[in-house]
Every structure is written in structure tokens, then in C-alpha cells.
Amino acid sequence: MVKVVAFSGMLSNKQKFNPDFYNWNRIKVRYCDGASFTGDVEAVNPANNLHFRGARVFQAVMEDLMAKGMKNAQNAVLSGCSAGGLTSILHCDNFRALFPVGTKVKCFADAGYFINAKDVSGASHIEQFYAQVVATHGSAKHLPASCTSRLSPGLCFFPQYMARQITTPLFIINAAYDSWQIKNILAPGVADPHGTWHSCKLDINNCSPTQLQTMQSFRTQFLNALAGLGISSSRGMFIDACYAHCQTEMQETWLRTDSPVLGKMSIAKAVGDWYYDRSPFQKIDCAYPCNPTCHNRVFDSNVHSEV
């Protein structure tokens, strides 16, 4: 785990780069839990000393922060990217419940709207994987009962099945062609034994017309899964047409002269306007490659991690 974390993007303390949140108290919570802070298993494996207690960690961190003064906040945000984005969805209402009724509390989920889609071989790889995560971590008791009463706990780890019940205002920031989801949900290594997708996953410019067509189909599935949120004026949405993963904590995608825009608006402006009730924002980009402002990820083939 890196010793130093760059506070950039929505964590920046410079007004120019983060006009709406630069003067906030900003806390980065370290994550090494593996189940978006939902784990809660009493037993410890004596062979490897692994603890699956992410839910307890989350509670302990929040209690510590509240005691340090967070309980006096007038404004509060729970946010995160990737697994942290999923955390900010799963724990959004729990976070809200920590504060008095008069506190303005909202949640931002960056690249955390993972969807339940079949992979290129037709297998339900991510559905099985999430079921195993939830079982290993004993997560069921920390997933919304409104979902687990209807569906298996593994499915309730997917926002499309549980996020509609969230009552706290929630903003979803996600690429429709989320690079992690393309690499690990749509075309994981296990579904691509001959490495046909390897070059495409490293750089979208390398994708064949057939692969792009498959990715367009994935975008359609992603947008259908987003419909699981339901219609609500308290929801915000910035869904761009980029091949990217996590866009709020990097300055170049949060707010810079060349950062991605949707409806002529940067992520920083859209989120800030929504948080402070200046104007709502619910926009979905046109299909790739329509947005010339995108920062499409190019990965190093030597550090190509997959689930």
C-alpha cells in the first residue's frame, strides 16, 4: 500500500481545481477489505490470519471521525471510486443516519456501478464471483434487507438491484464503457483463453469492429441496469462515453481545461451544482466515439490485473 496519497480532483485543496469542495475537511479512508466494507465474520483463518470484518472497520472509522468533530458538520459527503464507489452506494443511508436531520448529507459513487452482465463466452462470471465474495465475507447481514428479502445476497451486491431503495441523495459518476468492467466483467481472462481481447482491453483504439460492437451492447446493458435506480429528482448522473475507470480523484478528469465534459459541463461543475442544489444533473452521453473530450485509458500490458 502506497505511503503517500495524492489529494487531487475532488480532494484537492486548491480553489482553482476544486471550487466547490477545496476548503472542506477531506478524509481518505484506506481500503484493504475486499468487499466494500461489508465483511463481518467472527472466525479468523489460523493458516493465513485473514480477517473478514470490513463492516466493523467502516463503523470504527466513522465513530472515530464523528468523535474528531465530523458530528458537527453542516455538509457531508460519502464518496469513493471503484470498490469505494460501491461502498458509497451500499453505505449511503448508513452514513446519512450518523448525522442530525439538519445536516446536508449526500453520496457520490465514482465507477462503482458494477453491473450483472454475462461475459463474452456467455457465462455469468461476475455474478458467481460476487456470490463468492458475499459468502466469504459474511456480507449478507450488511446488505439492505429490502433487497436480500427478495433476492440472493450475491445479487444485492450489485447496485442495479438495491440502489432504488436508497433514500439519501446519490450521484452516479461512471463511464458507460467502464474499463474495469470491460476487462473483468465483459471479457475476463477466463472467458478469453486465447487472449483475443487482450490488446483491445489495453487500448480501445486497438479494438476490432466486432469487439466495439460487443462493447456497444455492454453499454446498452449498463444503461438498462442504471434504470434500476428509478426516477428521482434527488439522483444525479454523469455517464460519459469514455473508456475510463475512476474520474473524480484525478485532476485531469475532475476539472481541468481539457477534462471530459457532458452537456458542456465538467464532472466537478455537475457534481457541485447538484450537491448545492444549484441545478440538477442527470445526463447520459451518446455512444463511443462521440465525445472528443474523453480521456480514454491506455493500460500497461505488464500490469494488466483481472479478477
pLDDT tens sequence across 181-202: 999 999 999 999 999 999 999 9
pTM: 0.96
Q: What is the pLDDT of residues 41-57, one digit of tens each?
A: 999 989 999 999 999 99
- Of 12, 82, 88, 259, which residue is the catalytic one? 82
Q: Is residue 110 among the annotated active site residues?
A: no
Cβ neighbour number for residue 199 with a 10 Å cutoff: 14
Of the candidates 215, 207, 129, 222, which has an alpha carbon nearest to the alpha carbon of residue 174? 222
Beta strands in 131-251 (DSSP E): 170-175, 235-240
How far is CA 115 from each of CA 51, 125, 176, 184, 226, rounded to the nearest angstrom?
A: 27, 11, 11, 11, 9
Residues 6 or more apart in contact with residue 265 via CB below 8 angstroms:
273, 281, 283
Q: Where are the domains of the chain?
A: 9-284
Cβ neighbour number for residue 259 with a 10 Å cutoff: 20
Query: What are the φ and ψ backbone dihedral angles of 245, each rounded to 5 degrees?
Result: -155, 115
Alpha-helical segments (H) within 43-98: 54-67, 83-90, 92-96
Q: Is residue 194 among the annotated active site residues?
A: no
Query: How does DSSP assign 139-161, residue by residue?
Result: GGGGS-HHHHTTS-TTGGGSHHH
The better pLDDT of the pair 105, 302 is held by 105
Note the pLDDT of residue 231. Answer: 86
Altogether, the residues listed in the chain come to a count of: 307
- Of 178, 192, 240, 285, which residue is the catalytic one? 178
Q: What is the pLDDT of residues 195-223, one digit of tens each?
A: 999 999 999 999 999 999 999 999 999 99
Check pLDDT > 60 for residue 73.
Answer: yes
- Of 8, 245, 285, 295, which residue is the catalytic one? 245
Residues 6 or more apart in contact with residue 252 via CB below 8 angstroms:
258, 259, 295
**For residue 31, what pLDDT band results from cuts at 50, 70 and 90?**
confident
Residues 6 or more apart in contact with residue 254 via CB below 8 angstroms:
8, 9, 10, 12, 17, 18, 247, 248, 266, 267, 268
Query: What are the φ and ψ backbone dihedral angles of 41, each rounded to 5 degrees?
Result: -120, 125
Taking residues 114-142, what's their average pLDDT?
97
**For residue 32, what pLDDT band results from cuts at 50, 70 and 90?**
confident
Q: Is residue 305 among the annotated active site residues?
A: no
